[in-house]
Amino acid sequence: MSRPGWTSVLLAVMACSPALPYGHFVEYSTRTAPFRAIPQKYNVGALPDRSLPVFVAESAVSTMPRESLASVLNLVRDGVNVWDRVPSSALRVTFGGLRQSGLPAASPAVQIEFDELDPLTLGITYTTTVDGEPAGTEQSPFRPIANAFVRLNQDLRLWEGNPNRYESLFLTIVHELGHALGLQHTFTASAMATEVTRATSWVRPLEADDIAGISELYPVDGYAARHGAIAGRIVFDDTLEGVHLASVVAISPSGSAVSALTDPGGFYRIAGLTPGTYQLYVHPLPASGRTTAAGDIAFPLSADGVPLPPSAPFATVFFAGGQGVTDPLLGSYLTVAAGSTVGDVNLPVTRRAIYPFSPVTLYSFFGQQAVRPGFVDTSSNGISRMVAVSRGLASNNLPAPGLRVSFLGGTPVLAGLSAYAGETLIIDISATSTFGGVGPRHAVFALSGDIYVRPNAIRLVAGGPPRIEQVTVRENGARRLAVTGQRLSAATAFFLDGVRAPVAGREEGGTILLDIPPGLSNHRAILTAANPDGQNSMFVQSADPPAHVYGFGEPGSIRLAPSQVPAGTDTLVEIIGAGTGFVPGLTSLGVGSPEVRIRGMWVTGPDRILANVAVAGQAAPGAYTAIALTGSQAAVRPFALDIGTASAAPRLDSRLRNADPAQRVLFPGAEVILTGANIGVLPVVILNETPLSVLETTETSARFRIPASTAVGFHRLRVENGLGATVVGLDIGPPPPEILTVSPAPPEAFRAGDGFAVTVSGLSSAEAGDLAGIRLLVGGVPHAVLAADPVEGTAAWRLEATLLPDLAPGNEVHVAVTVGGRTSRPVVVTVAAP
């Protein structure tokens, strides 16, 4: 079964295109209410390593300009990382490298191809699903996605009209990958909005709606308990008939927007809401932009497999105590708490013959450069000019009669409303005491008795875009770029074309030092500075951008040893480079098959990588392409890894686990468990050159202890079963922290709401400096670490926190410290009753 492709459309600044409502691709198992939705998604439990690989078709090597290939591959890798790093999603997404077309695979994967598409289409995504009965449980059924195919326009010039074509391409990749993972379009200006209504950026590629959508589809344990929901029903006011495919949006006046679509009975549930206060509004789907489907979404399927279209258009309204209003100032506020649902938030809506609005695109101008969304500098007392483009906002070079524009989250001074060039509206505003600070603000356009709400219409910022004033090369030891400019901070990210340039240090006077990613000879890479507020240096420097011209640089080549590995096991493979510049944390390695995974990688030098390569038992025999991607250097070797059939040697899983379930890493002195097959009854286990005593063994596992004298770092583990040997790599970390003292000290009790302290050893300075990475557990409940101070004259650290007010009292409450997957032995304290 396949789903039609959905496109991202590139239009000129003065054109308009519908933004599309958020949701999942669903079918219904029933014909009448209550409607049970069956979403399309990947079967995470059946994926190797619970991760979905994303590949780029190997044809990109020949069809894409050589100087662009590595930058584009970096953008794909970064787009994959965006979805992989959503902490509330249980689906891991990995960059798999280059893949030959037509090779068989048993596991799901996403394949990206750069292809010849029409000039208005940036990308289009298709998925195929598994026919038959749904998977999952009776309470949570789903239709498994088998594979996804993303086609991106190979003409990179189509992104030239934006301030930074690499940022625009990156955001399109993030958008299309969202479709590949099971997400539809959205009206909330998030990553899943269409290109002309999107308000995301290089450093903020996802919004709350995207995070809620992927997390609802693939929730981690405890997700629902940490978030709230709003639920109700949307009906027509004349017949009380449920409205199908109405888009219902929970919106924070100065924050995020999260949406959901109604089912055929008009029922909706907006889940994944961060606890807080929201307003709620409902709007119909707009007319199609590129397809015959309203809103350019895939309609849900009935139990008979028939698409279910939306109900008739209706007027957009805000919820006001069971009634709909067009003035958001009269709307009700809903307080959402974690783990609970605000129910019966029902709204009657009035039918309309047509929906009078097309989605509105807002721009700011920096000189002649148009950027999206609008930006208002609240540090300036001047007027900020916005341009809004949409059908019906203006005519005859005048604003439409009766048009009103207002904003949620405060009231700015509306200094002027004018028009030019047909459908272009000019909005002049300035910040006020109630319309200040920073962050997104939402616009409301009122016309002809109806309204259009544009989430994330503008962003309030405390200053202008960053500007790079000087770029020089420093040859003092490591070769680096020295960058000076304006509004460059510790939070500023830097990119050479589409490749992130890591910050290596800062000097007095504000000079920032950047590591230079490897690149090709004489390649001129544009340097961009991007700030967390969504602004980047290309806003003001696109006409003459700063750049770095690479000197001598090789494309690089690689070979693998061994070049042949059996199926069904992990194997330590050495990647040997020539002319390469491998960098820890910057280099990615991929082998072009969904049945081949990288389960550990150690960059030991600019020309050498060690990697645990995991080959599934069902992997098809054959030779596969390998790629080592580092900055603007893509070292590609076709037929690099030859996969054979399973052998009689031990078949190992290189992800050894600590025998203590409280510990997630291996360290000196720890007892560990190795799993796999063909391990044998009397295996020989050798760590580097040292034979180890095996404590317990079966055909599928072995238990042994890491010597206490083992150094922290990389080690080789060799397992022999008499019929062969297999080698994998291990990462040995430092021992767990140790609690030395607690304060208040026993027998004095901890008290709710009071501060307490724990003195620990075994923390590095970097770990102590990352307070968010330290978990201080009292009775198993995490407490935020407020401060970490070194204890003078020792290597210990004093951690300070405040006891939560609702912690259960007791005489034997355990206190423990967890950092980097290592957990201290607990100490016992008393927690007094409030």
Q: Which two tokens stand for residue 21?
A: 């409502």
Q: What's 1-220's CATH class?
A: alpha beta
Q: What percent of the chain has pLDDT over 90?
A: 75
- CA-to-CA dists, residue 151 to 146, 173, 186, 193, angstroms: 17, 10, 20, 18
Q: Which two tokens stand for residue 826?
A: 């607990």
Give the pLDDT band of residue 181 (cuts 50, 70, 90): very high
Q: Is the pLDDT of residue 323 over 60?
A: yes
* Torsion angles phi and psi, residue 579, rounded to 5: 70, 20
- Dist CA 435 CA 432 (whole Å): 5
CATH of 467-549, one of 3.40.50.10860, 2.60.40.10, 1.10.260.40, 3.40.50.460: 2.60.40.10
How many helices and strands (H and E) does the chain possess? 7, 63
> What DSSP designation does 737 have?
P
Q: What is the pLDDT of residue 703?
A: 97
Give the pLDDT band of residue 1 (cuts 50, 70, 90): very low
Give the pLDDT band of residue 194 (cuts 50, 70, 90): confident
- Dist CA 407 CA 466 (whole Å): 27
Which residue, among 305, 303, 266, has the nearest Cα to 284 in the 3D structure?
Answer: 266
Q: What's 651-732's CATH class?
A: mainly beta
- Dist CA 389 CA 355 (whole Å): 17
Which of 99-103, 359-363, 392-396, 804-808 bottoms out in mean pLDDT, i.e. has the lowest?
99-103
User: What would the pLDDT profile of 551-567 be if each residue is shown by its tens digit?
Assistant: 876 778 999 999 999 99
User: What would the pLDDT profile of 382-397 be if each residue is shown by its tens digit?
Assistant: 889 999 998 889 988 8
User: What would the pLDDT profile of 350-383 be if each residue is shown by its tens digit?
Assistant: 999 888 888 899 999 998 899 989 999 988 878 8
Q: Is the pLDDT of residue 21 over 70?
A: no
Give the pLDDT band of residue 434 (cuts 50, 70, 90): confident
- Dist CA 688 CA 248 (whole Å): 60
- Dist CA 713 CA 586 (whole Å): 19
Q: Is the pLDDT of residue 8 over 60?
A: no
User: What would the pLDDT profile of 49-83 be if each residue is shown by its tens digit?
Assistant: 999 999 999 999 888 888 788 889 999 999 999 99
Instruction: Give the strand order in the sheet containing 651-658.
Output: 651-658, 671-677, 701-705, 694-698
- Dist CA 472 CA 145 (whole Å): 49
Q: Is the pLDDT of residue 19 over 70?
A: no
- CB neighbour list of residue 334: distance below 8 Å, 6 or more residues apart: 230, 250, 277, 278, 279, 280, 319, 342, 345
Q: What is the pLDDT of residue 291?
A: 54
Mean pLDDT value of segment 507-523: 90
Q: Do residues 210 and 183 lie in contact, with contact meaning Cβ atoms separated by under 8 Å?
A: yes
Boundaries of CATH 3.40.390.10 in the chain? 1-220
Beta strands 141-153 and 37-41 are parallel
Give the pLDDT band of residue 288 (cuts 50, 70, 90): low
Q: What is the pLDDT of residue 63?
A: 84
Q: Is the pLDDT of residue 744 over 80?
A: yes
- CB neighbour list of residue 738: distance below 8 Å, 6 or more residues apart: 760, 761, 762, 824, 825
Give the pLDDT band of residue 16 (cuts 50, 70, 90): very low
CATH, domain range 361-461: 2.60.40
Give the pLDDT band of residue 265 (cuts 50, 70, 90): very high
Average pLDDT, the chain: 91
- Partner residues linked to 498 by β-bridges: none
Boundaries of CATH 2.60.40.10 in the chain? 223-355, 467-549, 557-640, 651-732, 738-831
- CA-to-CA dists, residue 519 to 59, 464, 483, 632, 651, angstroms: 21, 31, 19, 4, 39
User: Which CATH fold topology does 223-355 show?
Assistant: Immunoglobulin-like (2.60.40)
Q: Is the pLDDT of residue 484 over 90?
A: yes
Model-wide pTM > 0.85: yes
Q: Is the pLDDT of residue 289 over 60?
A: no
3-state secondary structure 503-566: EEEECCCCCEEEECCCCCCCCEEEEEEECCCCCECHHHHCCCCCEEECCCCCCCEEEEECCEEE
Amino acid (one-letter) located at 146: A
- Dist CA 458 CA 374 (whole Å): 4
User: What would the pLDDT profile of 566-604 be if each residue is shown by its tens digit?
Assistant: 999 999 999 999 999 999 989 999 999 999 999 999 999
Q: What is the pLDDT of residue 138?
A: 86
Q: Give the residue carrying structure tokens 């007319």.
A: 287
Q: Is the pLDDT of residue 210 over 60?
A: yes
CATH of 557-640, one of 3.90.1150.10, 2.60.40.10, 3.40.50.620, 3.40.50.2300: 2.60.40.10
Mean pLDDT value of segment 110-131: 91
Q: Give the residue carrying structure tokens 């700015």.
A: 412
* Torsion angles phi and psi, residue 202, rounded to 5: -55, -45
- Dist CA 126 CA 131 (whole Å): 16
3-state helix, strand, coil in the chain (%, to 5): 10, 45, 45
Give the pLDDT band of residue 2 (cuts 50, 70, 90): very low
CATH of 738-831, one of 2.60.120.10, 2.40.50.140, 1.10.3720.10, 2.60.40.10: 2.60.40.10
User: What would the pLDDT profile of 619-648 be if each residue is shown by its tens digit?
Assistant: 999 999 999 999 888 999 999 999 999 999
* Torsion angles phi and psi, residue 750, rounded to 5: -75, 145
User: What would the pLDDT profile of 219-247 be if each residue is shown by its tens digit?
Assistant: 999 999 999 999 999 999 999 999 999 99
H/E stretch holding 670: none
User: What would the pLDDT profile of 330-341 be if each residue is shown by its tens digit?
Assistant: 999 999 999 999
**Half-sphere exposure of residue 220, counting CA atoms within 13 Å on the CB side?**
13
- Partner residues linked to 207 by β-bridges: none
Q: What is the pLDDT of residue 310?
A: 93
Question: What sign does the CA torsion over 659, 661, 662, 664 have?
Answer: positive
